[in-house]
Amino acid sequence: MPVNLSNTKPLAWDAASLDADTKAMLDNLQPNILQAHVRESLSLLLLNFGDGADGRRFLKALVPLMKSARKHLDEVRAFNKTKAPGTPYVGVGISRLGYLKLGHETAKFGDNAFKSGLKRRKDTLSDPPVSAWEPQYQGEIHAVVLIGDATPEPVAATRKRVLALLPKTAKVLGEETGAGLRDDQGRGIEHFGYVDGRSQPLFLADQVAQEPGTNWNPFFPLSHVLVADPLAPHPSRHFGSYLVLRKLEQNVRAFREAEDSLADALGLTGADRPRAGAMLVGRFRNGTPLRLHDRPSSAGFPVQNDFSYRDDPGSRCPVGAHIRKANPRDSRDEGLERVLGVMMARRGQTYGSRTDRPWDDAPPQTRPTGGVGLLFMAFNSSLQSQFEFTQQSWADNPDFPAGGTGHDPVIGQGKRDVKVRFPKQWGSSALGAPQHQVPQTVTMKGGEYFFMPSLAYLKSL
Ligand code: HEM
């Protein structure tokens, strides 16, 4: 039976009744797509192949260091039962130019954004000119190798093994080092200090079963992340996913100043002050959704994700908040992101080190202005209708979902000339005076589009 990517039920990946094609799919799919792989410590290598044949041999030689999605899921299950540690994650993505270098045609790939490459999409995405990107992103990136694990040691050892396989004709254009950032309660956060990575599309039955799902159904069909691998021996059983990688630098000091200015403009004092930042992000630093609470709750971990925006025209969570712009949830009956198929699987990691405590209230001048940020990564079945649509039509569009909303305060790019209004009080329809949008505090420093091929393809090289 062909793999049904549109199945309306979550995938019971361990069911005895699983059909042969779906089993083959799981045995040949790279991990980290259907379910996040631990990558608390992450090394990301950007490669250029001087010689196509050498590039092919290298990619094939990587396969023994990799594992399948199924092996990863088995490891997760074992870890949950006995705390047995899993093996490191090695993931490989190939860019359009990479496939050409390896001697392939790219006509069979369905995604036009992938077939253009990120550099040629910079106007669509209002990105800085390529000359302003970091040098490692300016040249021809052919492949990315991701090496991740819970601690640095296995990553370092695996990185060594990967580099030992690299032919002399290949170059490492650059390397990024990701390191998970956690608050004092152990929750994963990003550099502005907010809990991140909580709201995700879930594809697997065991994951969906752990979520309440009363107000927000986290289940999404496989068609959101999987596409047939057009160059694999059996594209009907061998699947891959498009990966977007963007290095997003965060000016933490400027963001903290913007939070303070907004709190002042709205007259928020004392325990109400953190609501200013929550109005920009859509959650408080500890992950509490502003849709549900006017102050950070102590509801514990994992933070709440079972909410919709039904009955909230923006008086609780402003329609311009980052999480509401990037996922409007149920703006229409079935939910806009479901109708349009926009939800992607975010798998980013923070980069850069700092000595302050990102989650606390220390003054803005003690915060970094650069050198830290997010290695934004997400898996898509269509870069155009998922990542690019989110960035261009929602985040960068001051009229989404309605005129006067403004840019996404976290990731919006472009001239922020629209004035915006925020609710004076939580839950009140009375709006404060129009005011300038917060400045842009996230800067794109480079990136690329990749396809994460099936293991069957890599073995066939
Ligand atoms: C959620 C921060 C970049 C799309 C979140 C959350 C935070 C956050 C704190 C809340 C945690 C959660 O609900 O999982 C940031 C920062 C970024 C960044 C600091 C850049 C430095 C992006 C980009 C996109 C994006 C580039 C897409 C174009 C989303 C989506 C959600 C989210 C879809 C989930 C919203 C939901 O389902 O409720 N982000 N983000 N983010 N972000 Fe970002």
DSSP of 1-43: ----TT-SS-B-TT-TT--HHHHHHHHHSPTTSSSPPP-SEEE
Cα 375 to ligand 1 centroid, rounded to whole Å: 12
Residue percentage of the chain with pLDDT more than 70: 98
Instruction: Note whether 446 and 136 are within 8 A (CB).
Output: yes
pTM listed for this prediction: 0.98
Q: What is the mean pLDDT of residues 19-40?
A: 97
pLDDT, tens digit, for every residue of 23-32?
A: 999 999 999 9
- Which pLDDT value is given to residue 318? 97
- For the chain, how many residues are written? 461
- Which pLDDT value is given to residue 339? 67
User: What is the token pair recorded at 248?
Assistant: 């997003």
The best mutation among 308, 410, 413, 442 to test binding of ligand 1, ranked by most ligand atoms within 8 Å of the C-beta, falls on: 410
- Which pLDDT value is given to residue 376? 98
- Which pLDDT value is given to residue 337? 66
Scan for tokens 């092919």, then name that residue: 56
- Which pLDDT value is given to residue 129? 98
Q: Does residue 345 have its Cβ closer than 6 Å to ligand 1?
A: no
More confident position, 331 or 355: 355
Instruction: Note whether 421 and 435 are within 8 A (CB).
Output: yes
Q: What is the mean pLDDT of residues 132-147?
A: 98
The best mutation among 126, 194, 199 to test binding of ligand 1, ranked by most ligand atoms within 8 Å of the C-beta, falls on: 199
- Which pLDDT value is given to residue 334? 56
More confident position, 8 or 136: 136
Q: Is residue 59 pLDDT above 90, yes or no?
A: yes
CB atoms under 10 Å from CB of 362, counted, come to 12
According to DSSP, residue 212 is labeled -
Instruction: List phi, psi (to 5°) of 446.
Output: 140, 170
Mean pLDDT of the chain: 96
User: What is the token pair recorded at 161?
Assistant: 């093994």
- Which pLDDT value is given to residue 150? 97
CB atoms under 10 Å from CB of 351, counted, come to 22
Interatomic CA distance for residues 308 and 318, integer angstroms: 13
Closest atom of ligand 1 relative to the 199 alpha carbon:
14
- Which pLDDT value is given to residue 335? 61
Residue percentage of the chain with pLDDT more than 90: 94
Q: Model confidence at 3, in pLDDT bands (50, 70, 90)?
A: very high
- Cα-Cα-Cα-Cα dihedral sign, residues 19, 21, 27, 32: negative
Amino acid 78 reads A
User: What is the token pair recorded at 149?
Assistant: 């694990």
Question: What element of type H or E holds 442?
Answer: strand 442-452
The best mutation among 343, 372, 376, 377 to test binding of ligand 1, ranked by most ligand atoms within 8 Å of the C-beta, falls on: 376
Interatomic CA distance for residues 148 and 86, integer angstroms: 11
According to DSSP, residue 129 is labeled P
Strands 373-380 and 345-346: antiparallel
Cα 344 to ligand 1 centroid, rounded to whole Å: 11
Interatomic CA distance for residues 380 and 68, integer angstroms: 18
**Protein residue with least CA distance to atom 28, ligand 1:** 391
Interatomic CA distance for residues 245 and 210, integer angstroms: 29
Closest atom of ligand 1 relative to the 289 alpha carbon:
13
Q: Is residue 332 pLDDT above 60, yes or no?
A: no
Q: Is residue 263 pLDDT above 70, yes or no?
A: yes
Q: Is residue 212 pLDDT above 70, yes or no?
A: yes
N-term to C-term CA, the chain: 27
Q: Does residue 344 have its Cβ closer than 6 Å to ligand 1?
A: no
pLDDT, tens digit, for every residue of 159-194?
A: 999 999 999 999 999 999 999 999 999 999 999 999
User: What is the token pair recorded at 247?
Assistant: 């290095």
Scan for tokens 């991740």, then name that residue: 148
User: Which of 223-237, 249-263, 310-324, 333-347 is least confident?
Assistant: 333-347
Q: Model confidence at 341, in pLDDT bands (50, 70, 90)?
A: confident
H helix runs in 14-165, sequence order: 20-28, 52-62, 69-82, 96-101, 112-116, 135-138, 152-165
